Chain A
Amino acid sequence: DAGVTQSPTHLIKTRGQQVTLRCSPKSGHDTVSWYQQALGQGPQFIFQYYEEEERQRGNFPDRFSGHQFPNYSSELNVNALLLGDSALYLCASRGTGIGETQYFGPGTRLLVL
C-alpha cells in the first residue's frame, strides 16, 4: 500500500511564474491538506479539501489555490510566485472518521529565483 505521494520532488521557478504541485493520498483516504514549510520553521496549514471542495483555509493569499479530483488526488497551484514562496510543500491525507490520523507525503521542494 503506497503512502501519500507527491510530485515533483524538486522544482525551480522564477518570480512571477505559476506552479502546480500534485498529491495522491494514501489508499482509502478522502481528505487532503496542504502545508508550507519554510526553511527552519514548522509546517503551516494552507488549506484542506474534502469532496472536491475547499473546507478549511489557513492564512494564505488567494495566489494559493487548489483542486481535488474525484479520485481524491489534489493539486496546489501558486500564481505570481514570490521569493518568499520558496519552501517545502507537504501534502497530508486522512480518512473522514473522528480521530483519523493524518499521514504526510515527502514533500515538494520549491525554489523561486
Chain B
Amino acid sequence: AQSVTQLDSHVSVSEGTPVLLRCNYSSSYSPSLFWYVQHPNKGLQLLLKYTSAATLVKGINGFEAEFKKSETSFHLTKPSAHMSDAAEYFCVVSALNFNKFYFGSGTKLNVKP
C-alpha cells in the first residue's frame, strides 16, 4: 500500500525567507515521488520528481527536495520565498509504473510581504 502524509496543512513565511514543506511517505515498493503545485483556478503543475536516481532533486522555480529513505521523507524546500509561490502544494507517491498517483492532503503556502 502507498500513502503520503503532508505534515502541515498551512505554512506561512515572509517573502525572502526559506520555505520548508514536509512530506512523509509509505510505500510497499521502491517509490517514485513528486511535488505538484496548484494555483487557484489552475491545473496541477509538476515541480519536481524523484525516480530512484539522485536523492537531491532540483525542480522549477528554485524548488528542490531530498529523498531520505531512512526517514521515509521527501520534504520540499526553497531558499527564498517569492510572493508568486503562494499556492497549494501536493506531495504524491506512485509505484514505478506511474499508473496510480496517491496525493497528500496538501499544504497551503502563504507568503507575506
Q: Which residue numbers of A lie inside 8 Å of B, CB to CB? A: 3-4, 33, 35, 40-45, 48, 55-56, 58, 90, 92, 94, 98-107
Q: Which residue numbers of B lie inside 8 Å of A, CB to CB? A: 32, 36, 41-46, 49, 51, 90, 96-106
Given contacts A41-B105, A43-B90, contact A102 B98 (CB under 8 A): yes
Given contacts A99-B51, A101-B49, A104-B44, contact A42 B104 (CB under 8 A): yes
Q: Judging by beta carbons under 8 Å apart, are B43 and A43 in contact?
A: no
Residue among B41, B90, B100 making CB contact with A48, cutoff 8 Å? B100
Q: Which residue of A lies closest to B94 (CB)?
A: A102
Q: Which residue of A lies closest to B45 (CB)?
A: A104
Where chain A touches its partner, the secondary structure class is: loop
Given contacts A41-B105, A41-B106, A44-B103, contact A100 B42 (CB under 8 A): no
**Closest chain B CB from A98 CB (angstroms):** 7
Q: Judging by beta carbons under 8 Å apart, are B100 and A105 in contact?
A: no
Residue among B32, B44, B99, B105 making CB contact with A56, cutoff 8 Å? B99
**Closest chain A CB from B45 CB (angstroms):** 8
Q: A35 vs B99: C-alpha distance in the bound complex, in angstroms?
A: 12
